[in-house]
Amino acid sequence: MTRIPPSAITIDDNQSEPTNPTNPTNPSNPTHALAGRLREHLQTLAALRVAISYRGLAKAMLLSPPQTIHQLTEALEQLMAEDAAADCPFIAALVVSKWRSGMPAPGFFDCAAQLGRFSGDATGPDARAFHAAEFNASVALWARPCPTVVTT
């Protein structure tokens, strides 16, 4: 084994900590980039007062297999964490499942519970009321004012 003399070792104190590519807040993380695109798209939908299905959103974001819905749900969970931190309504409430009668998937409620904003059964009436409140609050936050109709 060859020994390296201490004088041959250079320490660079100006070097920053390495970034963690799996950290959701790291801009180079694909989930972070997708979350930004999702927020823009969902803000546009909220302004129009419409919901979108998970599949429709995956198509709109041009996500490609494998695991397109998983990619989407990870980014939606990031948006929910950001919204909770900013004390804003969950813009992810605009994303619904066709198979759940216009309600989000159970993961939406699980994430909301982990963030301290929902405590109830994801399949019960509490979930429906919570979703409606979050959807309406997101629409109210991002919706454009309705044009005033003048009648003569």
pLDDT tens-place string over residues 32-87: 789 999 999 999 999 999 999 999 999 999 998 888 889 999 999 999 999 999 99
What integer pLDDT is reported at residue 10 of this predicted model? 40
Q: What is the mean pLDDT of residues 118-129?
A: 93
Tell me the two tokens of residue 77: 């969970």
- Residues 56-64: contacts with CB within 8 Å, 24+ apart? 57/95, 61/34, 61/37, 63/34
Q: Is residue 11 part of a domain?
A: no
User: What domain range is 96 assigned to?
Assistant: 31-142
What integer pLDDT is reported at residue 143 of this predicted model? 79
Q: What is the pTM of this model?
A: 0.75
Q: What is the mean pLDDT of residues 83-94?
A: 96
Q: Is residue 7 part of a domain?
A: no
27 CB-near residues (< 8 Å, 6+ apart): 33
Q: Is residue 128 part of a domain?
A: yes
Report d(CA 143, CA 58) in Å as an integer: 22
Q: Is residue 17 part of a domain?
A: no
Q: Is residue 99 part of a domain?
A: yes
Q: How confident is the model at residue 18 (pLDDT cuts 50, 70, 90)?
A: very low
pLDDT at 1 exceeding the cut of 60: no
How far the first Cα of the chain sits from its last, in Å, is: 95
Helix (H) or strand (E) holding 96: strand 95-96
**Mean pLDDT, the chain, as a whole number?**
81
Q: Is residue 71 part of a domain?
A: yes
What integer pLDDT is reported at residue 60 of this predicted model? 94
The larger pLDDT score, comparing residue 66 to residue 149, is at: 66
Number of domains in the chain: 1
Q: Is residue 118 part of a domain?
A: yes
Task: Report CA-CA distances (Å) from 110 to 105, 113, 147.
Answer: 9, 5, 38
Report d(CA 4, CA 128) in Å as an integer: 66
Q: Is residue 62 part of a domain?
A: yes
Q: How confident is the model at residue 98 (pLDDT cuts 50, 70, 90)?
A: confident
